[in-house]
Structure 1
Amino acid sequence: MPVVLSLNIAQKTKPVDYAREGATGIDKRPVDGPLEISAPGPWGSSGGGVSGDAIADQAHHGGDYQAVYAYAREDLDWWQTELGVDLRNGQFGENLTTEGIDQTHALVGERWRVGTALLEITAARIPCRTFAGFLGRRGWVKRFTQVARPGAYLRVLEAGRVAPGDEITVVHRPDHDVTVELFFRAMLTAPELLPRLLDAGDSVPPYVVAHVRERMAAGTQR
């Protein structure tokens, strides 16, 4: 049975020299919960997402299409072996550490009932220098990209309360083949896949749709 193994938040941002804003909320720690999850509104909006979770760079993180970030414990365990270090729940900056659900091959537009909230997968996590700086690993963005176990961003279709141990029920799987992994590779390593992202319809963030259409138009002009 898929479950929320851990619910993680950053209760305040921390000043660091490796983040664009000079501070970061990536250092998320497990909490008992339950916590309210709600739709934040567009990028730059205050509030929403997982209640109590601090976000420093609101220009690039948060917002409706990145309201919640989930990462699988199974993938953390894989990285533990690969890196030879212990990785706690929340180590990758995820709000939900899950167990028993394959996020890499989940579909964009797939809907999960988690606690009393209804969440929908919208995108794959794109690694950045803050992620690399937090882990303290040179070449981390390249390595994370090559492995392609990105975890999933979700938007909130119905606000609700979520706690550790809550079951994750997949209540809808859309009729296309745009997986989280395909999304990730299209954005980072295989631009020829970009047009396929449009098959996921309005589950795809508008900024991604704009990027895809721009690249398609440029390709037509060449």
Structure 2
Amino acid sequence: MPVVLSLNVAQKTVPADYARTGATGIGKHPVDGPLQLSAPGPRGSAGSGVAGDSIGDWTVHGGEYQAVYGYAREDLDWWQSELDVSLHNGQFGENLTTQGIDHTTALIGEHWRIGTALLEVTSPRIPCRTFAEFLGQRGWVMRFTQQVRPGAYFRVLEEGLVGPGDEITVVHRPDHDVTVELFFRAVTTEGALLPRLLAAGDSVPPEVVELVHRRSVVELDS
């Protein structure tokens, strides 16, 4: 049975000279919960969708399509073995550490019922300098990209309470083939895949839709 192993938040941003804004909320740790999950609003005007959580840079993180970030304990365990370090729940900045469900093969637009909340899969996590510096791993952005274990971002369709031990039920799978893995590859290493993301409709973040259209214009002009 897929479950939430832990609910993780950063109760305040951590000063970090490597972060663009000088602070980051990536250092999340498990809390007892349950906590309210809410739709935070558009990116840039709101942060996390998890009560009590903080985000350092609202211009590139948080908002409606990145309200909640989930990562599988199975993938954390894989990285733990690969890196030969101990990785606690929340170490990758995820709000939900899960067990028994694969984020990489989830479809964009897939609906997960967790606790009393309903979440929609919207995109993969794209690695950045802050992530690399926080973990202290040289070459981390490239290494994380190559392994394609990005975890998934969600938007909140129905607000509700979520806590450790809550069961995860997939209640809707859309009729297309745009997975978190395909999305990740399209925006990182295989740009030719970008047009395929449009099959996921309004489940795709607006800034990614704009990226697809810009690429199409450039190709037409070249």
Q: By the TM > 0.5 criterion, same fold?
A: yes
Q: How far does the alpha carbon of each residue in 1:133-156 deviate from its partner, in whole angstroms, 9 at most, with x for none?
A: 000111100000000100000000
SS at match of 1:49: coil
Counterpart-to-counterpart distance in 2, 1:104 and 1:48: 22
Question: Equivalent residue for 2:172?
Answer: 172
Counterpart-to-counterpart distance in 2, 1:162 and 1:98: 12
SS at match of 2:149: coil
Report how far residue 217 of structure 1 moved.
1.5
Kindly indicate whether the alpha-carbon contact (under 8 Å) linking 1:41 and 1:48 is maintained by their aligned counterparts in 2: no
Question: Equivalent residue for 1:149?
Answer: 149
Relative distance call for 1:48 and 1:86 in structure 2 (3 A) is closer
Is residue 23 from structure 1 mapped to residue 7 from structure 2 by the alignment? no
Amino acid at match of 1:40: P
Counterpart-to-counterpart distance in 1, 2:124 and 2:55: 18
Is residue 37 from structure 1 mapped to residue 9 from structure 2 by the alignment? no
Kindly indicate whether the alpha-carbon contact (under 8 Å) linking 2:125 and 2:151 is maintained by their aligned counterparts in 1: yes
SS at match of 2:43: coil
Q: How far does the alpha carbon of each residue in 1:86-134 deviate from its partner, in whole angstroms, 9 at most, with x for none?
A: 1000000000001000110110000000000000000000000000000
Report how far residue 46 of structure 1 moved.
3.7
Pairing of 1:27-66 with structure 2 (within 5 A): 27-46=27-46, 49-66=49-66
Report how far residue 13 of structure 1 moved.
0.5
Q: How far does the alpha carbon of each residue in 1:20-65 deviate from its partner, in whole angstroms, 9 at most, with x for none?
A: 1111000000000000000000112246500000111011110000
Deviation above 3 Å: which 4+ runs of structure 1?
Answer: none
Amino acid at match of 1:132: A
Question: Equivalent residue for 2:13?
Answer: 13
SS at match of 2:36: strand
Kindly indicate whether the alpha-carbon contact (under 8 Å) linking 1:80 and 1:86 is maintained by their aligned counterparts in 2: yes
Counterpart-to-counterpart distance in 2, 1:48 and 1:159: 13
Counterpart-to-counterpart distance in 1, 2:217 and 2:191: 13
Runs of 5+ consecutive residues of structure 1 not aligned to the other structure: none
Counterpart-to-counterpart distance in 2, 1:48 and 1:106: 22
Question: Equivalent residue for 1:4?
Answer: 4
Amino acid at match of 2:154: L
Relative distance call for 1:47 and 1:22 in structure 2 (3 A) is closer
Counterpart-to-counterpart distance in 2, 1:31 and 1:149: 24
RMSD: 0.8
TM-score, normalised via structure 2 length:
0.99
Question: Equivalent residue for 1:134?
Answer: 134
Question: Equivalent residue for 1:120?
Answer: 120
Question: Equivalent residue for 1:160?
Answer: 160
Counterpart-to-counterpart distance in 1, 2:46 and 2:98: 26
Tell me the matched-pair count.
Answer: 222
Counterpart-to-counterpart distance in 2, 1:114 and 1:43: 23
Amino acid at match of 2:24: T
Kindly indicate whether the alpha-carbon contact (under 8 Å) linking 2:47 and 2:67 is maintained by their aligned counterparts in 1: no
Question: Equivalent residue for 1:214?
Answer: 214
Kindly indicate whether the alpha-carbon contact (under 8 Å) linking 1:44 and 1:63 is maintained by their aligned counterparts in 2: yes
SS at match of 1:87: coil
Kindly indicate whether the alpha-carbon contact (under 8 Å) linking 2:47 and 2:55 is maintained by their aligned counterparts in 1: no
Question: Equivalent residue for 2:96?
Answer: 96
Question: Equivalent residue for 2:68?
Answer: 68
Runs of 5+ consecutive residues of structure 2 not aligned to the other structure: none
Question: Equivalent residue for 2:198?
Answer: 198
Report how far residue 187 of structure 1 moved.
0.1
Counterpart-to-counterpart distance in 2, 1:83 and 1:24: 23
Counterpart-to-counterpart distance in 1, 2:176 and 2:165: 30
